[in-house]
């Protein structure tokens, strides 16, 4: 498969995504891809199902014994602008702003019943906060996660608030990808956040690009040459870079890197649309496939298309 940026309703990567079982965050990232591709009707159908599975405390898209405190917020963007869904969006925001567990400085914990800060949370919550008129909270969440998890532009996966130590200290590639992509998406919604956040997104991008491997991909652990090559980080960074250039907070000189990252993944997409050699579901600790990788492939192609338009 080539690195074409055109995505039709019958695109194999999109069809494979829709065929996959999805947890709350995977449903949310799928709606982001659909929105960016202009498939708004399909995005609304996915949003409707997230509402069907909304928990009593307001978390969207909860399936089974959902332990994630913040993941459902990724589903919220697709509810914006639909009056019939407004109460459900408000319930999700109420949970995010006041009900969800958090540290004393307000930084959100990722799991209900736990006291860990995860890099993933930045993508789950910051774009929605930016899109719904909460710029101060968006900035606070980035700052709290950065303080605990970031070193030299690279993110560790998890921080234990009780011990004040990293629970997973490795510079997990997808963790840095979640942060960079989350900030990029937030800046699309609220450009006024650029002075506070754009510089950090660029810092993360630069730190990751410095560790790119000869095959064009990255290690699952960015600075561990022995870790398996992982393709979704390249997609997340391609989305971030192409979005940043298109929106004007990254220099145009970055565009070539964004396109190159997407091209590096293209040979790993099978004829039936599966993006392979990514951090694989359901445990995300070995190569495989995942709904989030499918979505980020589509997000990256949509962002690259903005550069070409």
Q: Is 273 helix (H, G, I), strand (E, B) or coil?
A: coil
Q: Name, in order, each residue with C-beta under 8 angstroms of 275's C-beta and a sequence gap of 6 or more.
A: 13, 231, 232, 235, 265, 268, 269, 289, 293, 294, 297
DSSP H helices, the chain, are 12-19, 24-37, 40-52, 86-94, 120-131, 135-149, 173-189, 194-209, 232-247, 255-265, 291-308
The predicted pLDDT at position 15 comes to 97
On whether the pTM is more than 0.75, the answer is: yes
The verdict on whether omega for the bond into residue 246 sits within 30 degrees of 0, i.e. cis, is: no
Per residue of the chain (309 residues), give pLDDT as tens. 445 667 787 899 999 999 999 999 999 999 999 999 999 999 999 999 999 999 999 999 998 878 999 999 999 999 999 999 999 999 999 999 999 999 999 999 999 999 999 999 999 999 999 999 999 999 999 999 999 999 999 999 999 999 999 999 999 999 999 999 999 999 999 999 999 999 999 999 999 999 999 999 999 999 999 999 999 999 999 999 999 999 999 999 999 999 999 999 999 999 999 999 999 999 898 999 999 999 999 999 999 999 988
The predicted pLDDT at position 139 comes to 99
Residues 234 and 278 sit within 8 Å (Cβ to Cβ): no
The gap from C-alpha 96 to its chain's centroid, in whole angstroms, comes to 17
DSSP letter at 293?
H
Find the distance separating the first CA and the last CA of the chain, reported in whole Å.
22
Domains of the chain from N-terminus onward: 12-21+106-308 (1.50.10.10)
The predicted pLDDT at position 9 comes to 73
Backbone angles phi, psi at 19, to 5 degrees: -80, -15
Q: Is 290 helix (H, G, I), strand (E, B) or coil?
A: coil
Size (the chain), residues = 309
The predicted pLDDT at position 4 comes to 61
């Amino acid at each position: 498969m080539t690195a074409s940026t055109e995505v039709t309703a019958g695109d194999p990567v999109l069809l494979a995504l829709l065929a996959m079982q999805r947890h709350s965050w995977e449903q949310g990232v799928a709606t982001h891809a659909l929105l960016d591709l202009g498939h708004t009707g399909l995005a609304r159908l996915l949003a409707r199902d997230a509402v069907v599975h909304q928990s009593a405390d307001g978390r969207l898209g909860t399936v089974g014994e959902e332990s994630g405190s913040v993941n459902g917020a990724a589903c919220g963007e697709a509810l914006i602008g639909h009056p019939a869904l407004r109460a459900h969006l408000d319930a999700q925001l109420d949970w995010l702003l006041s009900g969800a567990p958090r540290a004393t400085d307000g930084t959100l914990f990722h799991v209900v019943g736990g006291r860990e800060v995860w890099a993933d949370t930045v993508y789950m919550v910051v774009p929605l906060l930016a899109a719904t008129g909460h710029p101060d909270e968006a900035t606070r969440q980035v700052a709290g996660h950065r303080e605990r998890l970031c070193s030299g532009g690279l993110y560790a996966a998890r921080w234990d608030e009780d011990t004040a130590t990293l629970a997973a200290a490795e510079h997990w590639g997808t963790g840095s990808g979640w942060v960079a992509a989350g900030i990029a998406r937030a800046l699309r919604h609220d450009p006024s956040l650029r002075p506070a956040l754009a510089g950090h997104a660029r810092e993360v991008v630069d730190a990751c690009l410095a560790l790119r491997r000869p095959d064009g991909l990255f290690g699952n652990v960015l600075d561990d040459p022995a870790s398996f090559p992982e393709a979704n980080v390249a997609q997340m960074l391609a989305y971030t870079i192409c979005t940043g250039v298109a929106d004007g907070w990254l220099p145009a000189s970055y565009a070539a890197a964004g396109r190159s990252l997407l091209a590096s993944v293209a040979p790993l997409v099978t004829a039936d649309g599966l993006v392979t050699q990514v951090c694989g579901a359901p445990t995300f600790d070995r190569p495989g496939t995942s709904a989030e990788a499918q979505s980020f492939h589509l997000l990256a192609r949509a962002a690259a298309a903005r550069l070409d338009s």
